[in-house]
Amino acid sequence: MERYSRQVLFSPIGEEGQVALASKHAVIAGAGALGTGSAEMLARAGVGKLTVIDRDYVEWSNLQRQQLYTELDARDRLPKAAAAEKRLREINSEIEVYGLIEDITALNAENLIGGADVLIDATDNFDTRFILNDVSQKLGIPWIYGGCVGSYGMSYSILPEKSPCLHCLLKQLPMEGYTCDTVGIISPAVGMTTAYQTAEALKILSGNTDQLRSKLVSFDLWHNQHTSINIDKLKDPACTSCGENRVYPYLNYENATKTAVLCGRDSVQIRPGSKRDIDFAKLAEAIAESGGEASANPYLLSVAIDGFRMVVFKDGRALIHGTKDVSAAKNLYYRYLG
């Protein structure tokens, strides 16, 4: 116990809680800013098994806030899951660490996440978050939502059968959303969000679920604001994800984002699971602030950015030209459309 002696001295965990941590499995969905922060804290805390899932690779812009990665990782464009696994094994050789280079979808989510004792959200889009939510409800796995952008962050812990689920809170996919690629982010906002998420994970994994925070917490570090909202009354008995007649709609292929490489063309089509109403003016402004160029007509917005050309239609469908790599196309789509 010498390695974890200071944690064991913390009476809510103690020796019994530390033994419990060593027997537990945490799955972290995403290995960006939130994922690397949570993974490192859980590895140092002695959680017995960590699985980190991510489809992306390390870029120079990640180094400002994604704490497991180095300049060498960015130069070599290492997959984030592989780089994270290597670094976490160096941090704690006593635990099991698995980095999975995967895109979480409605088709593979149950296999990737099944068997976990807690699921931590570190994703960058609500398509995936709603998949995580349905898997959590279907398999009975507690999960911890988190998000941050700019100087703002928020977190909420969801216990199947007890808490309102994410679908209860939002009902449908958000139509617009800021991203780190459009408005930026400061690393203290990341650190605060991961602190909230990881503290909740440690409570679950050490057997202290009675100490879980039942409220949705949000904050803005730059403007010195902090809010805690009781949302218990938002639990909906008719919710299709967690209600009395649940059907887990986001595990249904028809509600998933569809991608297709266009035959004979160096292009990928992305179609969201539900129709959106894209504000071309707002999106064009965000693209310009990120160094790209955009022009619109009443039907579509044409964007040139990051070496690609992206054509966005009003309903959210997009064509990404200049690649046949579905993962790269989805990364670009989520970066600028949230």
What are the 10-residue block averages of pLDDT along the chain, 338 residues in total? 93 96 98 97 98 90 94 91 96 97 89 97 88 96 95 95 91 60 87 97 96 93 95 91 93 75 79 81 87 85 88 88 87 83
Find out whether 121 and 144 touch, Cβ atoms under 8 Å: yes
DSSP 104-131: --TTTHHHHHTT-SEEEE--S-HHHHHH
Mean pLDDT of the chain: 90
Find out whether 109 and 135 touch, Cβ atoms under 8 Å: yes
Structure tokens that stand for 104 in this block: 């979480």
Find out whether 134 and 158 touch, Cβ atoms under 8 Å: no
Distance CA 335, CA 332 (A): 5
Superfamily for domain range 2-251: NAD(P)-binding Rossmann-like Domain (3.40.50.720)
Over residues 27-60, the pLDDT tens digits come to 999 999 999 999 999 999 999 999 999 988 898 9
242 is catalytic: no
Query: What's the pLDDT score for residue 175?
Result: 45
Cα distances (Å, whole numbers) of residue 31 to 18, 35, 40, 85, 284:
25, 4, 11, 10, 28
Domain ranges (residues) in the chain: 2-251, 257-337
Q: What angle do CA 271, 274, 277 make, to 5 degrees?
A: 85
Which is the catalytic residue, given 148, 165, 168, 180?
Answer: 180
Query: What's the pLDDT score for residue 27?
Result: 98
Fold of 257-337: TATA-Binding Protein (3.30.310)
